[in-house]
């Protein structure tokens, strides 16, 4: 087993904490370690997985390579010329990481929270066995599913074949009958009502040969990238030809229709920290949050907090007051009761930004 961590993205839903020069994975949001560091800590050096630092590669936009080196000395880095979403990143990893074709590759986002980490490692270990063959499928593509609790439009949805499911050691698994990426609100509401439907966590396990074959069937990525993958200039020219597309749309939707995808259910306290509301809950704060874009106005009440940048530095202030944002500003409704948690968060990020 080896691990590929995808690190990048602008983190626009957490502005002004995250910025283009410092996306969410590199920030110490939940403690002194960044989300990227916590992702590596979660899988390296534990008996359940037998994953070592030498088994981990981070794929990131080249402009963030220095940040990765700063936070993870000794971890291999694959630098993309530019962000082109997850399909290109995974294709490049499948080409450049020299591991056996039958070995299982684990793909992890760099910016998620996992509450029960030992449970998570157990699920990964069991799901890796699924990737070697399950439900009559040789070398299936495996994805982890999260129980749906609202009609979210920011996640893909996994539709399992419930009649064909099986209880395996450490998890429940199903062959997938369909994979729907980021539906409309109306469709999400309909999906929420379907038995067994799960969110796609963006966590995948597959043999190297299985993902390369799937990419070959569904995309031209390996054909385009393989000849130039080791050439900085050639790779940059190839990336200029790519349109951004997720692995979900490029591969998983079609593979699920062909019954080559297996879903493993996961209940490990997962959260993608994709909003201020989720972050507030994770740090022990209160309330809900939203980003006020530049040139938009809003009104903060006496129970609310405002997080903004003043002369480039993060500040926290309380309502009531009007907001006319000149740069993206976070309005945290009902957060004043948990102000110490928010201030501690801002202090951590500020100290990280002020590092030598």
CA separation, residue 141 to residues 17, 148, 321 (Å):
35, 21, 51
**Could you say which architecture CATH assigns to the domain 2-271?**
Alpha-Beta Complex (3.90)
The pTM (predicted TM-score) of the whole model is: 0.96
What does the chain come to in residues? 356
* Partner residues linked to 44 by β-bridges: 51
Nearest Cα to Cα of residue 106 among 125, 87, 119: 125
- Spans of all domains in the chain: 2-271, 276-353
d(CA 206, CA 172): 17
pLDDT of residue 11: 74
d(CA 356, CA 344): 20
pLDDT of residue 271: 95
Nearest Cα to Cα of residue 323 among 291, 304, 300: 300
Nearest Cα to Cα of residue 224 among 210, 242, 209: 242
pLDDT of residue 170: 79
Q: What is the pLDDT of residues 263-280, one digit of tens each?
A: 999 999 999 999 999 999
pLDDT of residue 10: 67
Token pair, residue 189, equals 């509401």
Environment class of residue 331 by beta-carbon count within 10 Å: exposed (0-12), middle (13-18) or buried (19+)?
buried
Give first-to-last CA distance, the chain, whole Å: 36
Which segments of the chain have a pLDDT < 50? none
């Amino acid at each position: 087993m080896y691990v590929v961590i995808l690190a990048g993205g602008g983190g626009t839903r957490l502005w002004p904490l995250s910025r283009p020069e410092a996306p969410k994975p590199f920030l110490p949001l939940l403690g002194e370690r960044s989300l990227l560091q916590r992702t590596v800590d979660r899988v390296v050096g534990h008996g359940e997985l037998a994953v070592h630092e030498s088994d981990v590669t981070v794929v990131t936009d080249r402009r963030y390579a220095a940040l990765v080196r700063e936070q993870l000395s000794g971890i291999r880095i694959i630098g993309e010329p530019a962000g082109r979403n997850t399909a290109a990143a995974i294709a490049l990893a499948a080409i450049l990481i020299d591991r056996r074709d039958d070995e299982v590759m684990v793909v992890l986002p760099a910016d998620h929270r996992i509450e029960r980490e030992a449970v998570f490692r157990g699920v990964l270990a069991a799901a890796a066995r699924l990737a070697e063959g399950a439900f009559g499928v040789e070398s299936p593509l495996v994805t982890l599913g999260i129980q749906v609790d609202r009609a979210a439009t920011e996640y893909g949805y996994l539709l399992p074949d419930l009649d064909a499911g099986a209880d395996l050691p450490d998890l429940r698994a199903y062959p997938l009958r369909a994979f729907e990426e980021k539906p409309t609100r109306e469709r999400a509401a309909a999906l929420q009502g379907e038995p067994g439907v799960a969110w796609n966590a963006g966590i995948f396990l597959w043999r190297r040969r299985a993902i390369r074959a799937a990419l070959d069937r569904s995309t031209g990525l390996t054909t385009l990238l393989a000849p130039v993958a080791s050439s900085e200039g050639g790779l940059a020219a190839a990336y200029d030809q790519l349109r951004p597309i997720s692995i979900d749309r490029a591969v998983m939707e079609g593979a699920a229709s062909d019954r080559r995808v297996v879903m493993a259910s996961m209940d490990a306290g997962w959260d993608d920290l994709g909003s201020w509301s989720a972050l507030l809950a994770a740090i022990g704060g209160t309330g809900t949050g939203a980003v006020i874009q530049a040139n938009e106005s809003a009104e903060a009440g006496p129970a609310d907090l405002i997080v903004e940048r003043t002369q480039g530095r993060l500040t926290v202030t309380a309502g009531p007051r009007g907001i006319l944002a000149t740069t993206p500003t976070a309005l945290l409704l009902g957060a004043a009761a948990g102000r110490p948690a928010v201030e501690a968060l801002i202090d951590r990020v500020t100290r990280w930004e002020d590092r030598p």
